[in-house]
Amino acid sequence: MPSLQQPQNQAGIMSFYDAPELGPKVNVKSILLIVVVFSLVIIVLNHFATV
């Protein structure tokens, strides 16, 4: 009988991360840059809309 102290099997998690990706590969720095630029554009447009 297994004890409650034993770690759980993580085969499901490993198979999830080992699955092949069909989508495009995007660099994390690119996403961060896009978010920052988009935020700055929104701030600038908001500033000019209130003037």
pLDDT of the chain, 51 residues: tens digit per residue: 455 555 555 555 555 555 567 778 888 999 999 999 999 999 999 998 876
The verdict on pTM exceeding 0.75 is no
Q: What is the pLDDT of residue 25?
A: 82
* d(C-alpha 16, C-alpha 21), whole Å: 10
Query: Distance between CA 47 and CA 51 in Å, rounded?
Result: 7
Helix ranges (DSSP H) in 1-51? 11-17, 28-50
Closest CA to 11 of 1, 19, 23, 2: 19
Domain ranges of the chain: 23-51
